Structure 1
Amino acid sequence: MPALVVGTVSHVRRAPMRHAFENAHYQWLVDLDALPRFRGPLRWLARFDARDHLDGGRLGGGIRGDLSRWLAGRGVVVEPGDRVLMLAHARVLGHVFDPLTVFWCLRADGSPRAVVFEVHNTYGERHAYLVEADERGRARLDKEFYVSPFNDTSGTYDLAWRLTSDQVLVSISLERAGSRVFTAVTTGRPVPATTSTVLRTSARHLFMTHRVSLLIRWHGIRLWLARLPIQPRPAHSQEAVR
């Protein structure tokens, strides 16, 4: 830690029309108490700001402070000895778009105290979910947040993840009326974020977060041109991340 999780991201939309893609991809896996602080040109390739997550660092304490307050408001107390890991995109050349951030709050013995999924949409909104997992590392919860303009807020998420030294995987499937309509999976192998690894990975995946923003909009345009109906976007409260 910190590590780069280098692999792929894939989306499969099954209804009301089929659309699928898979792209090369990388994210960062970091400890919130030891965020990487690069100097020189490297700082333009990886920067982590509280403003990009949860309450935006409004009350201080950085990302961990925001997460601790958010969890406390939902009955979960983060202890000083807990380790909090974050899987996310970093800012690259001043830009970041992070469709999904995952936080693992781990007790001193490594067992999970809490898992939080933070979802961002292209309208500048974000929403956090407290995930209650079973012994297999799987969970189900109701969808509450408008993400894609082609899906409303109805349905249930089926979530799964793996966090090991060999693989980091996160899977989200949306189910509606007993049918699976959409699945997104990000998976990769964590490698130590040395200077050479950061430079090499950044060169191989140029403008990573810029490409994420562009590809989301490009696939949205394709679906719109295919006449997939757009769903109304409801108002969203910032209290979901405070």
Structure 2
Amino acid sequence: MRRAGCQANQLTIKLFCLPRILGYGFNPLSIYFCSRQDGSPEAIIYEVHNTFGERHSYVLPVHAAATEMIEQHCPKAFYVSPFLGMDLSCGFRVRPPAAQVEVSIHGKENDKTVITASLSGARHELTDGVLIKTFASHPLLTFKVIAGIHWHALRMVLKGFHIVPRERVVHDAIKAVGGREVQP
């Protein structure tokens, strides 16, 4: 966190991710909202997972007193899709945890948007009844996510999309953006 320029010593951290269902979990993106003691946002950690079992975290400080929507940008540093090169910039637009959740991500190459993904929903109290109802209405949610990723990839291959070779590069598991470099 210090490498990203964050100063707070004590943070409250809230995690937004998909649940593990029947022992299986896959989160393409987990978002950690890091807040100061007064509740104001200090940083957001975007933990990205690919289907190769790898993960990478982008630690981005929140510079303004953002309470409604937070917009952050950074260069892409992690191979996620065989259809997207590494010369992308990533943009994140998120609403801090509240009654509604909104997350959108866009990837740009040469200032042209090449991919956009978004999610929105309403917050519910975490009770046994809500968990049972959610499981009944979405019984295989995490399985559906991974199956959907592979199904979409197959459709893209059949349509003739160019596959970007995956380079085996050793990289930091965490990219701190926006701050000064300090020794951990």
Normalising by structure 2, we get a TM-score of: 0.85
- Counterparts of 2:170 and 2:56 in 1: how far apart (Å)? 9
- Counterparts of 1:229 and 1:112 in 2: how far apart (Å)? 40
Q: Which amino acid aligns with 1:79?
A: N
The count of corresponding residues between Structure 1 and Structure 2 is 171
Cα RMSD (Å) = 1.9
- Counterparts of 1:190 and 1:200 in 2: how far apart (Å)? 14
Q: Are the aligned partners of 2:6 and 2:61 in contact in 1 as well (CA < 8 Å)?
A: no
Match of 2:94 in 1: 161
Identify the structure with the greater helix proportion: 1
Match of 1:206 in 2: 139
SS at match of 1:187: strand
- Counterparts of 1:202 and 1:239 in 2: how far apart (Å)? 36
For the structure 1 residues 232 and 78, does the alpha-carbon distance in structure 2 shift closer, same or farther, using more than 3 Å as the test?
farther
2:17 to 88, 101, 111: 88
1:103 aligns with 2:103: no
1:121 aligns with 2:50: yes
Offset, 1:72: 4.4
- Counterparts of 1:236 and 1:110 in 2: how far apart (Å)? 38
Q: Which runs of 5+ in 2 are unaligned?
A: 176-184
Normalising by structure 1, we get a TM-score of: 0.66
For the structure 1 residues 219 and 145, does the alpha-carbon distance in structure 2 shift closer, same or farther, using more than 3 Å as the test?
same
Match of 1:79 in 2: 9
| Structure 1, 172-181 or 159-168: larger mean CA deviation | 159-168
Offset, 1:177: 1.1
- Counterparts of 1:78 and 1:86 in 2: how far apart (Å)? 18
SS at match of 2:91: strand
Deviations 1:111-156 (A, max 9, x none): 1121111111101111110123453511111111111110011111
- Counterparts of 2:105 and 2:61 in 1: how far apart (Å)? 14
Q: Are the aligned partners of 2:4 and 2:60 in contact in 1 as well (CA < 8 Å)?
A: no
- Counterparts of 2:61 and 2:4 in 1: how far apart (Å)? 12
Q: Are the aligned partners of 1:102 and 1:116 in contact in 2 as well (CA < 8 Å)?
A: yes
